């Protein structure tokens, strides 16, 4: 199997996503007890180097890709886009060709999804999307791993409630619903809908996606309640967003409607008192710390998939 890009979750296809999740879980279990920096026994990426390129801030994506490469036996270089000649006018295409001569894979966090697509077209090594304005596929692989661990079953057939902005993270959950076949209920205020193309594609795969303006309608009886910041990196309309989302906080009341066995997810960073109440994110239903830590395990499987080592 040759090298592949991961620009959106659907690049994996349903079978690829299943293989990634099963592999991530097995590899995580196999290294239980090892210190974080120790390589897995088989060190499948020994001799390989990943370059991680950031146009925007990051805590989890930055750390988890670096640790993922160490655990796979490889190495990682982290680069701030502002430090490159890119900022002085060197083209994306030329930058991609140069990176391809130095490293085995590239992870990019970019403002514009189209720029990552352009980089991937010009690169001759796999490119992974570490968040764009359109999507955040690596995050949702970790979310799925977390849900399957917590619920003790595959995500297929579960019910998810997204409460808040139909943003990049929401778009990747829409894709996941299409790939795995779970019900997704999205509650957002008018004007904050997720990407219409992703919704249509997920529905075409058979996913049941319900959209309303009511957090209660979305949350009632859900297995998973998930939200994200009301103001994403790059959003310039913070004041109106804070007003428009007032009724979309994930509260203990909403988690109560979902039920005692429901879990709460948030990709982080959280804005406590805005999209989520302290007592929810710090409460027994919250899986957010496992979700963050699972970024390493999900991305190890995604890196192996992208490098053609997962079948």
Closest to ligand CP by CB, 20 or 270: 270
Among 70, 185, 266, 295, the one annotated catalytic = 295
Which residues sit opposite 107 in a β-bridge? Answer: 52, 128
Give kind and range of the element (H or E) at residue 29.
helix 13-30
Q: Which of 152, 108, 149 is nearest to 129 (CA)?
A: 108
Closest to ligand CP by CB, 122 or 136: 136
State the minimum distance, in angstroms, from the CB of residue 68 to ligand NVA.
17
Binding-residue pattern over the window 121 to 140 for ligand NVA, x denoting contact by CB under 6 A: ----------x---------
Task: Compute CA distances 70 → 40, 46, 137, 248, 295, whole Å.
Answer: 9, 9, 21, 39, 14
Which residues sit opposite 250 in a β-bridge? Answer: 276
Q: Which does 59 bind (CB under 5 to 8 A by kind): ligand CP, ligand NVA, none?
A: ligand CP
State the minimum distance, in angstroms, from the CB of residue 128 to ligand NVA.
15
Q: Taking CB under 6 A as the rule, does residue 58 contact ligand CP? A: yes
Q: Taking CB under 6 A as the rule, does residue 169 contact ligand NVA? A: yes
Judged by CB under 6 A, the stretch of 38-46, 103-111, 164-172, 300-308 that binds ligand NVA is: 164-172
Q: Which of 166, 155, 158, 168 is nearest to 194 (CA)?
A: 166
Give kind and range of the element (H or E) at residue 94.
helix 92-102
Q: Which does 232 bind (CB under 5 to 8 A by kind): ligand CP, ligand NVA, none?
A: ligand NVA
The conformational region for residue 38 under phi > 0 = left, psi -120 to 50 = alpha, else beta, is beta
Spatial separation of the C-alpha atoms in residues 41 and 37, rounded to whole Å: 12
228 assigned to active site: yes
Count of residues that interact with ligand CP, criterion CB under 6 A: 8
25 assigned to active site: no
Among 139, 249, 285, 299, the one annotated catalytic = 139
Q: Taking CB under 6 A as the rule, does residue 60 contact ligand CP? A: yes
113 assigned to active site: no
Euclidean distance between the first and final Cα of the chain, in Å? Answer: 6
Spatial separation of the C-alpha atoms in residues 64 and 58, rounded to whole Å: 10
Binding site for ligand NVA (CB under 6 A): 131, 167-169, 228-229, 232-233, 267
Binding site for ligand CP (CB under 6 A): 58-61, 131, 139, 267-268
């Amino acid at each position: 199997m040759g090298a592949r890009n991961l620009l959106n979750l659907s690049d994996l296809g349903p079978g690829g996503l299943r293989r990634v999740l099963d592999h991530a879980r097995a590899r995580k279990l196999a290294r239980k007890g090892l210190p974080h920096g120790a390589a897995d026994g088989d060190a499948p990426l020994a001799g390989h180097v990943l370059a991680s390129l950031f146009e925007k801030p990051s805590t989890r994506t930055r750390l988890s890709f670096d640790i993922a490469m160490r655990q796979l036996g490889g190495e990682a270089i982290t680069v701030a886009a502002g430090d490159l000649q890119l900022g002085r006018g060197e083209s994306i295409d030329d930058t991609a060709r140069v990176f391809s001569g130095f490293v085995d894979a590239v992870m990019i966090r970019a403002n514009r999804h189209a720029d990552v697509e352009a980089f991937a077209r010009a690169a001759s090594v796999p490119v992974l999307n570490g968040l764009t304005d359109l999507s955040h596929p690596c995050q949702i692989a970790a979310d799925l791993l977390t849900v399957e661990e917590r619920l003790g079953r595959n995500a297929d057939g579960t019910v998810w409630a997204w409460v808040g902005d139909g943003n990049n993270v929401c778009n990747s959950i829409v894709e996941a619903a299409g790939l795995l076949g779970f019900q997704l209920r999205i509650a957002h205020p008018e004007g904050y809908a997720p990407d219409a193309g992703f919704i249509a594609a997920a529905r075409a795969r058979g996913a049941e996606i319900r959209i309303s303006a009511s957090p209660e309608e979305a949350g009632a009886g859900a297995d998973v309640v998930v939200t994200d910041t009301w103001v994403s990196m790059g959003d310039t309309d913070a004041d109106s967003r804070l007003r428009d989302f007032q009724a979309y906080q994930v509260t203990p009341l909403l988690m109560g409607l979902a039920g005692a066995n429901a879990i709460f997810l948030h990709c982080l960073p959280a804005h406590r008192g805005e999209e989520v109440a302290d007592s929810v994110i710090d409460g027994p239903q919250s899986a957010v710390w496992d979700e963050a830590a699972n970024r390493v395990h999900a991305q190890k499987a995604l890196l192996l998939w992208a490098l053609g080592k997962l079948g």
